[in-house]
Structures are given as C-alpha cells and as structure tokens.
Structure 1
C-alpha cells in the first residue's frame, strides 16, 4: 500500500510542472516545512522527503522559525501529512498512510 501511495504522489510530480512546492507537517513535533520537492520515496517503512529552499514553521502558531537551503526528513508514514501548494497557496492535503 505504501509503495502505491508514493508512486501516485510521484506520478503527479511527473505529470505536472517540473517544480512542485509542498507543505510537510509533523503534528507530533508541532513542525511544518514548506519547500520545493527534490525527492520523495518510501524506504524501510518510512517516508523520506528531501526539500529545497525550505521555510520552517511552528505548526500550532504558524510562526516562522528559520529558513534552510535543504532539509531531509525521514518519518513513519503515519507521522506526516503532505500538501501540494498551488500558485494561489491553496493545497490538496494528502495523508501518507
């Protein structure tokens, strides 16, 4: 099931524009990351996401914390939410499960 979800998510990146921005949220850590997808995959039961030009926020307050040029996050699939961002900043939330 996990591989199918990641494949479907990657398929949207292949079918659409080359640059895709997403918001990744870790509710248990109260963190949210917005950045450009470099890669996304499922490995050893975890989702691995690499983002470029990342803005990091405290999720509960939406308070900006810092910016980094690149970040890699590896978490169990049930621990993260992904939302693809469009030009007008509305998104389609996809829970990886």
Structure 2
C-alpha cells in the first residue's frame, strides 16, 4: 500500500512493510511497536506486532490491520522496533510509518 492511498472512512485495511536485516545478528523476540498514540481521530490498530525471526541479509514482511476513522482526513502512524522487554532498538534511525488519506 503506497503512502497516500485513499481509504474509505470507517473501513478496515492492512498495511505490510518488507524490511531487511542488514546487520550481522539474527532478529529474535523483536516487535514493531506503535509510537503514535491511539486516538479517536486516527487510524486504530494494535500497539505491538511480533516480527518473525530474521537472519542477517534476509527480509521479513510485517503486517498490521488498521481501522480507519469515521471522518475524512490524513492518518499517519509511526512504528519502531523494540525487544521483548519493550526496549527501543535502533533509537537513532527513523522508524516505519503508514500514511493514508481517509475519504468519504
């Protein structure tokens, strides 16, 4: 789903990111955590999704289901990778985000 995709108000949709482990350590017990607060006027989702075990140089798909708000506008949600204890990983790197246009 490209950035800016139009989404009908009140509908459910799924965003999938494909990310690559470009490091030299296998990703295990890692999660993608929402850093944008859940708010009535924003797209709703779970707070955290598990990232499947990913060896160095491999890619992994991460999908999140969202529910669009009832009113038109723009919806941007930001995410960061954390460990099983919630510790932020790669704090100096930009995280992932999803941005859509909510339409009637």
Query: More strand per residue: 1 or 2?
Result: 1
Query: More helix per residue: 1 or 2?
Result: 1
- Does TM-score exceed 0.5, indicating one fold? no
Task: Normalising by structure 2, report the TM-score.
Answer: 0.35
Work out which structure has the larger RCO, using CA pairs closer than 8 Å and 6 or more positions apart in sequence. Answer: 2
Task: Normalising by structure 1, report the TM-score.
Answer: 0.36
